[in-house]
Amino acid sequence: MVRFPCFLTGTAMLAKKTTKNQLTLPKAIVSRFAGVEYFDVSTDGRAIVLRPLEVSRADVVRERLGQMGIVESDVPDAVAWARRKR
């Protein structure tokens, strides 16, 4: 069994890949990224790299529009209203 160092605590940690290609990350790692739901996954050819994705401004706008009851089908009417001659 190969153990890789964990730079957060100085002790080695493991993450096991399941038969469904899922990983369970150690709690000590995950707790450093509270509130993060999605990670960008890439590789440098030797290692798997996970980078937390932050909520984009577009996601914040979509959430706010949803709270106001505005749905995607309302967009054409809003664009037409904004383009009308005054």
Would you state the pLDDT for residue 82? 92
Would you state the pLDDT for residue 7? 52
Q: Which amino acid is residue 24, in one-letter code?
A: T
Residue among 13, 58, 50, 45 nearest 33 (CA)? 50
Which is it for strands 12-13 and 4-5: parallel, antiparallel or unpaired? Answer: antiparallel
pTM, to two decimals: 0.49
Residue among 25, 33, 34 nearest 6 (CA)? 25
15-37 in b/e form (b: 16+ CB < 10 A) is eeeeeeeeeeeeeeeeeeeeeee
Tokens of 62: 């979509």
Q: Which residues of the chain, if any, have pLDDT below 70?
A: 1-11
Q: Which amino acid is residue 58, in one-letter code?
A: A
Would you state the pLDDT for residue 35? 84
